[in-house]
Structure 1
Amino acid sequence: MKKLIRGLLDFQRHSLPAYRSTFARLAKGQTPDCLFITCADSRVVPNLLVSTDPGDLFVMRNVGNMVAPSDASGQSMGDRSEAAAVEYSLLHLPVTDVVVCGHSSCGAMKALLAGMSDARCPNLCDWLDLGRGALQSLEKAGRVGEGLEPADRLSQLNVLQQLAHLRSYPLVRERMAAGTLRLHGWWFDIGNAKVHAYRPGREAFVPIDELEGEQMLADLGANGVGDASTSAA
């Protein structure tokens, strides 16, 4: 807590003046265009990774960047919090892109790989069931995550699994069919501080370097919202 309090005081003394007008504007409402779903891991800091300001991202974080799938009526088949965030962002905010971002050295993936069963944490064990589909696909993963440690490969597969869960929601499918929503799979390599994007045509997560980033921007500009060429949709 001491670090948090000292950091807060430092923000008030040195950073707040530059952001005062931003927060005054945000007090009237928010207009993020991206729902960013990522892990609760303290090493993953979305706004730092993509250099965004307050108000730019609608962020949903949980253990393992999971989203429970939906039934045919749009009702979540698991925890309702994630489904509520999806519905709110797509119905009440100008969100046109959803990013699911996993990461290396993920404790949730390691626990899932180890077959975690601990009577002391029944909620966590049940929650990890949302990644079982990724675990089942690990042996037939194809090119996804080739050369990575099993837990990191599972983490990449889990990103694709959670994107599949998102597409089970009628609202998501409707927005994608209307061309007003894109889904993206990202993966953060903590040790190298490098973000990778899933490129369906290559069946792999590709580092977003200068060249790849420019190509992604060109694809987005050429194809518009809803096109699958730059997403994991």
Structure 2
Amino acid sequence: MRKLIRGLLDFQLNARSNYREKFALLAQGQKPDCLFIACSDSRVVPNLLVSTDPGDLFVVRNVGNMMPPSDSKGQSTGDQSEAAALEFSLRNLPVEDIVVCGHSSCGAMKAVLAGGVGPEHPNLNGWLEHGKVALTRLKDNSKLGEGLPDHDRLSQHNVLLQMEHIASYPWVKERLEAGTLRLHGWWFDIGTAQVHAWRSAVGRFIPMDELVGEALLRELGTDSNAALKNGNGHLSVAASNP
């Protein structure tokens, strides 16, 4: 807590003047163009990863970067908090992109891989159910993430699964089909501080170096959200050139 207080004082006394004009504008309203769904893990810091300013990202963080799927009526089949954020951001903000960002050494994925946690964690056990399908896919002799520890391979499968869950909401599906919304899967390797981007064209996550970054930027001007199936027959997002 001392570190937080020192940091707060440093912001108030030294950095606030640099942001005064920015926050004065933000006080009139927010206009983020990206919904960023990340894990609650303290090692994953969305604004740091993408070097954004206040007001640039609408962020949802939870254990395992998950989004419960929709039922036939467009309502969440799990906790409504995540679906509410999805609903609000797409219907009230100029969001054009959604990023699901998983990461290495994820405690949630380790728990799913281990079959859950103890009975003293009933809420966590219930929440982890939203990642169980990813475990089934990992066990189906998938080659995704070959060479990585099983919990990291599971984390990559989980990113793709949560993308499917997001696309199951009617208003998301409509915008994806209309080309007014793009869905991205990212995976952050904590040990190397390297972000990897899902590329359905090659069926794997690729380090987001300068070349991949440029390719992704080119895709923003194309219809990159055509529904495709990846190598395992699961829904993913089209990508033109890796």
Range into which the TM-score falls when normalised by the shorter chain: over 0.9
**Deviation (angstroms), 1:140:** 2.6
**Deviation (angstroms), 1:216:** 1.3
Percent identical? 63
Instruction: State the alpha-carbon separation in 2 of the partners of residues 175 and 218 from structure 1.
Output: 20
Q: How does 1:126-205 map to 2 (within 5 A)?
A: 126-140=126-140, 142-205=142-205
Quick one: structure 1 residues 53 and 141, their matched pair in 2 at CA, closer, same or farther if it must change by over 3 Å? farther
User: What is the match of residue 82 of structure 1?
Assistant: 82
Structure 1 unaligned regions, length at least 5:
none
**Deviation (angstroms), 1:141:** 5.4
Instruction: State the alpha-carbon separation in 1 of the partners of residues 224 and 137 from structure 2.
Output: 29
Instruction: State the alpha-carbon separation in 2 of the partners of residues 141 and 37 from structure 1.
Output: 28
Please give the TM-score of this superposition, normalised by the length of structure 2. Answer: 0.92
User: What is the match of residue 61 of structure 2?
Assistant: 61
Quick one: structure 1 residues 227 and 30, their matched pair in 2 at CA, closer, same or farther if it must change by over 3 Å? farther
Quick one: structure 1 residues 29 and 131, their matched pair in 2 at CA, closer, same or farther if it must change by over 3 Å? same
Deviations 1:150-175 (A, max 9, x none): 00000000000001111110010011
Quick one: structure 1 residues 225 and 32, their matched pair in 2 at CA, closer, same or farther if it must change by over 3 Å? farther
Q: Which amino acid aligns with 1:213?
A: G
Q: CA RMSD, aligned part only?
A: 1.5
**Deviation (angstroms), 1:146:** 1.1
Choose between structure 1 and 2: higher helix proportion: 1
The reply to whether residue 45 of structure 1 matches residue 45 of structure 2 is yes
Q: Which piece of structure 1 moves more, 52-61 or 131-140? A: 131-140
**Deviation (angstroms), 1:117:** 3.6
Q: Which amino acid aligns with 1:20?
A: R
Structure 2 unaligned regions, length at least 5:
229-234, 238-242
User: What is the match of residue 7 of structure 1?
Assistant: 7
Instruction: State the alpha-carbon separation in 1 of the partners of residues 102 and 2 from structure 2.
Output: 30
Contact kept? 1:40, 1:61, Cα under 8 Å: yes
**Deviation (angstroms), 1:3:** 0.7
SS at match of 2:21: helix
Number of residues paired by the alignment? 231
Contact kept? 1:198, 1:232, Cα under 8 Å: no
Q: Which amino acid aligns with 1:4?
A: L
Quick one: structure 1 residues 49 and 228, their matched pair in 2 at CA, closer, same or farther if it must change by over 3 Å? farther
